[in-house]
Amino acid sequence: MSTITTEELAETTLLRFATAGSVDDGKSTLVGRLLHDSKSVLTDQLEAVERVSASRGQEAPDLALLTDGLRAEREQGITIDVAYRYFATPRRRFILADTPGHVQYTRNMVTGASTAELTVILVDARNGVVEQTRRHAAIAALLRVPHVVLAVNKMDLVGYEEKVFAAIAEEFTAYATELGVPEVTAIPISALVGDNVVDPSSHMDWYGGPTVLEHLETVPVSHDLSHCHARLPVQYVIRPQGPDHPDYRGYAGQIAAGSFRVGESVTVLPSGRASKISGIDLLGEPVDVAWTTQSVTLLLEDDIDISRGDLIVPSKDAPATTQDIEATVCHVADAPLTVGHRVLLKHGTRTVKAIVKDIPSRLTLDDLSLHPHPGQLVANDIGRVKIRTAEPLPVDSYADSRRTGSFILIDPNDGQTLTAGMVGESFAAPEPVKDESEDDGWDF
């Protein structure tokens, strides 16, 4: 046990990332290895794993057991939902959305990727890029995950051959780039043996890059905000009812994108009224500037009518409001989404009535082919929808802003979350899809 100094306990940064891959690719073993080799597995957890492994007659502790959650899964030996894992190194804290890679669990991968800054896609070095790999790449591209890692696993089973790795890395990178993925980092690993997961491999001298963990520790977690549209969805209006603050009216929310500064001219949507920022409270501390994803309270110079659901934006950079939204969606509920479906749409802090006007196409992730007018989307389907909302909404394109370009559809009857939506074009790249129909609304 190494001794830990308080210096090492200082504040670090936080990276949220997701994994995609199937049981057969060794994903649970990779996650178990990350937790184990980064010393994030504690003695009693490891003892439990050793106990169960031994009772099943396995020789070595099965690291995949570290990430098994619910009883149904333990019995079936599969993972059926998104599980969140936590580990830390002196350099960074990690939140891992661990999602199953099986075909029918697209919705879980979409869920995990929605909050991820990075996705690790796992392939088996013996099989290379398969249909499922292409699906995973497409989901990372659709969800605009900024960083993608291709972990080529089971290198020990292909003799640690550089050319096997290079061919897979090249094929995958070409495909992902075509989809508009901005950055791919390929790493040859063996999760079982421990090569290049946490510790550098002694079997692959030809590889000069970082291990998976080194890459996770150093990938940038913040962006240059100077090109972002600043957005603050108002969650709650703070009005103290006391003699100390007779005139305080603060608009509380988490900055969804960009930054705000005291003195800046802002516009409130959908009303369009304008004012200036007279103060910013950062959880009780006055500050001059605040940025995404800080939770703040804005104070304005003018007393205008603002309530939950409004969006505060810079006057010089206000989005248009619209009642007609076209988006790429992933349907996440068991019951289908149909044309004419009456739903609730939650965008930022605003929930409005809406109706599904049209479902122009369904997208097959395996080969990116389009199927025109499917009539409905079933669970795990990805498709294009046109939605009419009861009130105008200030939506951004998802490509510009993951938080103000996304929405969910909710069933008004039972409250189920039906669909996850991303406003605007599906992929960053100009023409990744094979349109099987006449042009019907795809605007590439």
Partner 1 sequence: MTTVATVSEETGSPYALSHLDALESEAVHIFREVAGEFERPVILFSGGKDSIVMLHLALKAFRPASVPFSLLHVDTGHNFPEVLDYRDRTVDKHGLRLHVASVQDYIDRGVLKERPDGTRNPLQTLPLTEKIQAEKFDAVFGGGRRDEEKARAKERVFSLRDEFSQWDPRRQRPELWNLYNGRHAPGEHVRVFPLSNWTELDVWQYIAREGIELPEIYYAHEREVFARSGMWLTAGEWGGPKDGETVEKRLVRYRTVGDMSCTGAVDSEADTIEKVIVEIAASRLTERGATRADDKMSEAAMEDRKREGYF
- Residues in region 372-411 near partner 1 by CB under 8 A: 402-403, 406-408, 410
Residues between 114 and 153 with contacts to partner 1, criterion CB under 8 A: 114-115
Of the candidates 144, 165, 147, the residue with the CA atom closest to the CA atom of residue 156: 165
Q: Compute the least distance from the CB of residue 28 to partner 1, in Å.
A: 13
**Spatial contact of 257 and 403, defined as CB atoms under 8 Å apart:** yes
Q: Pick between residue 64 and residue 129 the one whose CB is nearest to partner 1.
A: 64
Q: Pick between residue 167 and residue 225 the one whose CB is nearest to partner 1.
A: 225
What is the sign, positive or negative, of the torsion defined by CA atoms of 131, 133, 134, 135? positive
Q: Pick between residue 294 and residue 369 the one whose CB is nearest to partner 1.
A: 294
195 by Cβ neighbours in 10 Å (0-12 / 13-18 / 19+) ranks as buried
- Tell me, by CB under 8 A, how many residues bind partner 1: 88
Residues between 220 and 249 with contacts to partner 1, criterion CB under 8 A: 220-225, 235-236, 238-241, 244-245, 248
Q: Pick between residue 165 and residue 407 the one whose CB is nearest to partner 1.
A: 407
Q: Pick between residue 187 and residue 420 the one whose CB is nearest to partner 1.
A: 420
Give, for 47, the enclosing helix (H) or strand (E).
helix 43-55
Which of the stretches 63-71, 134-142, 265-273, 366-374 binds partner 1 when contact is defined by CB under 8 A?
63-71
Which of the stretches 56-64, 92-100, 165-173, 367-375 binds partner 1 when contact is defined by CB under 8 A?
92-100
Give, for 165, the enclosing helix (H) or strand (E).
helix 162-178
Provide DSSP, 7-41: GGGS--EEEEEEEE--GGGTHHHHHHHHHHHTT-S
Joined together, the tokens standing for residue 379 give: 């669970």
With binding defined as CB under 8 A, does residue 36 bind partner 1?
no
Q: Compute the least distance from the CB of residue 311 to partner 1, in Å.
A: 14
Site string (321-360) toward partner 1, x via CB under 8 A: -----------x-----------x-x-xx-----------
Q: Pick between residue 239 and residue 276 the one whose CB is nearest to partner 1.
A: 239
Q: For the chain, state the CA radius of gyration.
A: 24
CA 416 to chain centre: 20
Residues between 40 and 59 with contacts to partner 1, criterion CB under 8 A: 42-45, 48
Q: Pick between residue 21 and residue 250 the one whose CB is nearest to partner 1.
A: 250
Q: Pick between residue 103 and residue 174 the one whose CB is nearest to partner 1.
A: 103
Tokens 């099989």 locate to 127
Which of the stretches 38-46, 266-274, 319-327, 366-374 binds partner 1 when contact is defined by CB under 8 A?
38-46
Look up residue 342 and give its amino acid. Answer: R
**Spatial contact of 294 and 287, defined as CB atoms under 8 Å apart:** no
Residues in CB range of 379: below 8 A, 6 or more apart = 104, 107, 331, 332, 333, 334, 336
Residues between 265 and 304 with contacts to partner 1, criterion CB under 8 A: 281-285, 287, 291-295, 297
Q: Compute the least distance from the CB of residue 86 to partner 1, in Å.
A: 4
Joined together, the tokens standing for residue 297 give: 């309270």
